[in-house]
Structure formats: C-alpha cells, structure tokens
Chains A and B, each alone.
Chain A
C-alpha cells in the first residue's frame, strides 16, 4: 500500500493496462476461435424463418430455401463479434454438397461482417469449411470454422435415409475435423435436443487424436471442457442453461451452442517460407438445439384425456342401452349357455 501511494496517475493507467493485457494473454488463444453462426446480427434484415434452421435460412425463390451463415469470432456466445475476414489474409473456403461435390461459393462481406449463403437444393448435410493458416513463432496455427447443416423437406420423401445422414469427412482437404457420431435410428428429422448425450470425435488429418480439448459452450456461456479419449471421442450432455418464461417456451425455440476443439501437436514443416515445429489445430462447430420434449409435452395429461374420454363414452353407451330397456320394455335375451 505504501508502495502504491507514491505512484502517479499516469503510472496507474500504465499498470492497469499491463495487468489487463496479462489477463488477456490467457484467453488470447480462445479469442482466436472463429465459427459460423446461425444467428444474424441485430441490424440484419428481418429474415423470414423457414425450414429446419429457422434462424439462418431464408425463403428463396421457387420454394427453395437459402442458408446464411455468419462469421463470428470468440467464445462468448452472447456478445461475440461478427467479424470480417480481411481480403489479404490467406484463407480457403470450401462448401460441399450432400453428394460430396464441391459447390462454387465464397465468403461475402457486407459492411463489416462476413457471411456466406447457398441455396439448399439437395437433401442431406451441407458441409462448409473456412481454413485459416498462419505461422507465429515456431507454431503453425490452423484455424477452421465448420458448418454442418441438414437440409430436408418432407415433400421430397424419405428414401435412402441411411446413406444421407452419415457424416461426411474430407480428410485430404480439411486438416482437422469434429465429427458428430450418428445415432443408430437417426433419420432426416434429427435435431439435437436438450438432455441428449452427443458424442464427438476429434480428427486430425483423418485420424482420431487423444487428449484434445473439446469445449461445449451454450447460449448463456455455460461451458464444459473434456479431453478426448483414446478413440478421440468425448461425450457431452446438452443442458438448458437458460429457462425462458413460460409464454416464450415452446417447441419452436432454438438455443445456440458452440463446440470447439484444439490441440497442439509437434510436427515439423515449412509453410510459405517459414519453418515451424508445432501445429496448433483449432476447429469449431455451431448449431442450434431444442429444449427437451418434457418441457412442453406431457404424457401424463394425454393419459388423463384418454381415460376421461373412455370412461365417458363407455358409460354413455351402457347408460343408453340400459335406458332403452326401461322405456320400451326392450327385451334382453340371456346369453348364458
């Protein structure tokens, strides 16, 4: 305290900036997480919700919906910024259709925000990847933002479900991936629901990696970090960290989550003239999840309705039959053998 009393005003500011920057160093790595988000920024035009991903998709012409995915940076879901990729940076962007063909597409910038948009014509999962590579010091930073969205319309029928719902991996082009394990009975109406246990696998160059940090962040910034096991898997249970008021809670509500994984592996190499001896892989996946069915659906009340209806109908019929005997002296013949 005596020490501090003698420091001047300007020195206070300098020390505080130093302290803040020390704290900022820690999450600096986390700040480098880039991800594709369904949620449009507040000043974007009001988007007509349609299709399965109601926040992100837009009704296009001739009944085909377009998907917009916004580029964001950071791990604070509530107020991370929408960023814009500077033009001179070294980035690669890939969009794959459900039949594993690369679709011509690129990131667009409007104002200070970047996004990409595609018309979802085929049934199945569209995968999009943004790859950023940079050498800092002796480490090559490979940062990937992944978007994996399912497109389905019941109008097109439900054929060959097994083939369509399977995960797509592009290990030759995409260095690091997060793969969601499919449920055995998964069909084209899959949507992550709160209380689901979902298993994710962290893959580098197509091979599972043990010991990677996978973190799940939910809408109000609850987060959980798990290390992957020998097969590269971690299982997360989705929770609801946010309970809206009763009137707002409905099956239409979609919460957002961000899943990101990172690991540093010792690899030697050369990238654009710079040598590196470590590679830091980061990848992200973001989508929505629904509130648990038990939040708005009740089997108990269904049972009550069923029992009440049955009792009323059956007793009504028997009362009618009994009354019929009385009024007209309807004769009931005895069925005993």
Chain B
C-alpha cells in the first residue's frame, strides 16, 4: 500500500540530516530575511533578534519586556490588553511546533550546533553534566524568566516601597542575551560589542552582555547546546508545552531502558530513558530534535505525534539503517521485510 510505503520511508529516514537542512533554512530566514522585506511577527517563540539589522521578526521576550514596562494601573487597564494579545500570539505561534522551535528554528541553537561541529573536528571530548548539576542548573532559566518579568515592572512601579529601578535596565534580558551580541555578527554588524560607561548600571549590564557572549561561545564549544539550559524562552515555552500540537510520547512497556535515547540527546536528558510511566516525555530542557526517536531500536517505544497522527516512530528497521549499516561489511542476503 502506498501509505505504508510512505510511513516506512519516513521511519527509515535520517532525521538529523533533514534537521540540519531545516536549521539552515530557518537561520537564513531569521537572520537575513529582513533584507528581503520579510516580516513574520513581533511575538516569535524563537530568537529572531531585532538588534540584527536583517532580522525578519522579533523575539517575544523583547516584546514582553517592553509590554511589562508599564505601571500597575496601565497594566490592568486597556494597555494590559496589549500584553495579553502579545502573549496570545506567542502561544499560537508556539503550540503548532511545540518545542521543535528550539531544535529546528532557533538561530542561536543553530549557531551552537555549528560550534559543536567545530569541536568534533578538533577531537575534543564533550562535557556531560552529572545528575545533581543537571537538576540544579536546569532551574537557572526560571530565575532568568522571573527576573525579566519583574525588572521591567519594577522600572515603572515600586516594589515594597523601594525606589523604581533605573531606566538603564530597560529590556534587561536583551542586555545580557548572547543573541544581541552574536547574531548581528552574521550581518557584519559589530555595533553591539561595547561597554557603556554612562552609569554604573549600564557599565555592569553591558559588561555582563560581553561576558555572556564569551561564556556562550566557550560553553557551546564544550557542552552541546550549552545556552539552551539557561534560556528563559525555553522556560516560558515549557509552561505551554502541554497544549502543544506536536508531541513526543513514550510507551513505557516497550522500553528496555537501554539508554540509547539519553546518550544521543544533545541536552543530556536522562528522563527519556529512565521514566517508564509518563506518556508525554517532553521535559523543560527538551528541544524536540527527535534524535532520541532515531536512536531507539524498539518498535513503537517513542512516537512523534502531530494532532494525534504518528508522523515518526522508532522502528527496528529505521534504527539499523541509521546506526547499524556499515558499507565495508559484506552485504547480507536480505529479503525486503
């Protein structure tokens, strides 16, 4: 049947190669699209940075920080509607591809994957976090998210009777975000690489920005997808991940706990292998790159679902095509299954 053939073809395909191509396409779109007058929106669930002159959209975090830079009265008045609509359009963009925005579309993620490829050329070993560090570091992104919500509010209102935060902290996360410093470099724009001596606040924030850029580059070299651990966009997305239309589900009874999935996971999530009870296996660090599904040799243990249709499943045949084939061995006489 034609349908079975298509399903078989997809299940046997090399998703990682497909993903590299999609990443390049989205990178060109988000980093250079503005030069072709493309404008996708102001509330994108990925790092399309407006500091980059060729950007074809704006990341939602900067919109959120600007929207939250109002007084309490205004926030709960009609102006708060602007915040709600911004959040609403972010959620609508997001739930279609769920966390796959991180794995397939985010330009910062793509840059990190390229740095990883560079590391492979130098034969340097990558870093893996142990369980304790993993759990602790995973909380940092929520801290960033809370700060980027509270600081803009604190600039227009006073918390606990303290004075309002200086306007120099405007868009606080944007000032430390590596997207602001790294992405414009791809358009040849180095204007974001400075330390602003205007006031102590600007000095500290711009120094932090440069510091984070250095940490981003070095960290991505040694740890795959280093920044994704600390990304507040990832934290914000995870809050809405349960209603996502694209899902990654696991059938625990079929799992042999071989650990292949967590071994190939770039981020290093061990819960994919060890959790045999949950159905929805997308954790807050997951970027839905589906390398785990590729690496699973048990049929039907991991499935990718889109609107409840299984569009990609783990199969024995697919696994052996991707990991078992070696052209130098004598070919076995096999009939088509």
Chain A interface residues (CB < 8 Å from chain B):
62-63, 154-155, 157-159, 185, 249-252, 293, 296-299, 301-303, 305-307, 309-310, 313-314, 317, 321, 335
Contacts and interface: CB of A to CB of B under 8 A. Distances in A.
A251 B211 contact: no
Contacts of B222: 317
A310 B195 contact: no
B84 interface: no
A53 to B, nearest CB: 15
Interface stretch (B99-107, B213-221, B322-330): B213-221
B66 A154 contact: yes
Contact of A296 (B82, B196, B213, B215): B196
B74 interface: yes
Interface in B137-193: 190, 193
Give the residue among A159, A252, A305 with the most B Cβ atoms within 10 A.
A305
B253 interface: no
A313 B194 contact: no
A302 B50 contact: no
Interface string B61-79: 0000011001000100101
B210 interface: yes
Contacts of A321: 125
Given A62-B74, A313-B215, A298 B67 contact: no
27 contacts: A62-B79, A63-B70, A63-B74, A155-B66, A155-B67, A157-B58, A158-B50, A158-B58, A159-B39, A185-B53, A251-B196, A293-B194, A299-B193, A302-B194, A302-B195, A303-B193, A305-B195, A306-B193, A306-B210, A309-B210, A309-B215, A309-B218, A313-B214, A313-B218, A314-B218, A317-B127, A321-B125
Contacts of A154: 66
B211 A296 contact: no
A1 B101 CA distance: 92
B198 A299 contact: no
B125 to A, nearest CB: 8
B111 to A, nearest CB: 16
Contacts of B241: none
Interface string B202-234: 100011001101110111001000000000000
Contact of B195 (A158, A301, A309, A335): A301
